[in-house]
Amino acid sequence: MTRALARLALASATLAMSACAPPGGPQQLAVATTRAVYADDLDGTIAHFDPALRNQVTSGAVGQLSTTLRALGAMQGFTPVGSTPAQGRYDYRVAFDKGQMLVQLRLDGDRQIAAYRITPLAAQ
């Protein structure tokens, strides 16, 4: 009986911890966050941000960035362009109908987004 309770407690703790962890790897986090920005969804945008970054984001800033992204047309896809996993840094080229953006993110030790940046890429 004691072992069964211990296993149940361990399973519950594991489930609780996995519910707090962000889904997937860095690219999935970049895609989910960028799609939320595109949709002008503040809650979705900050869903995987660490507390310090979450406190810096405003609905106005998300709205402005959303307008910029939507002006580029439909999102076509994400391509990894560089990473430094030991530092938690990941860069992705995001293709749109009318242009490209660079998404850069840095993950903290808990795999939450500690830094997120979107900048235009020159036409190629």
% pLDDT > 90, the chain: 78
Joined tokens for residue 59:
């609905």
Query: Would you list the domain boundaries of the chain?
Result: 22-121
Task: List 119's β-bridge partners, or say none.
Answer: 102
Q: What is the pLDDT of residue 86?
A: 95
Higher pLDDT, 90 or 7: 90
Q: What is the pLDDT of residue 23?
A: 59
- CATH of region 22-121: 3.10.450.590
Question: How do residues 16-65 score in pLDDT, each as one tens digit?
Answer: 333 344 457 999 999 999 999 999 999 999 999 999 999 999 999 999 99
% pLDDT > 70, the chain: 80
Q: Residues with Cβ < 8 Å from 53, sequence gap 6 or more?
A: 46, 113, 114, 115, 116
Query: Do residues 53 and 113 make contact, with C-beta atoms less than 8 angstroms apart?
Result: yes
Report how far residue 85's alpha carbon sits from residue 12's, in angstroms, rounded to the nearest whole number.
30
Q: What is the pLDDT of residue 122?
A: 79
Q: What is the pLDDT of residue 42?
A: 97
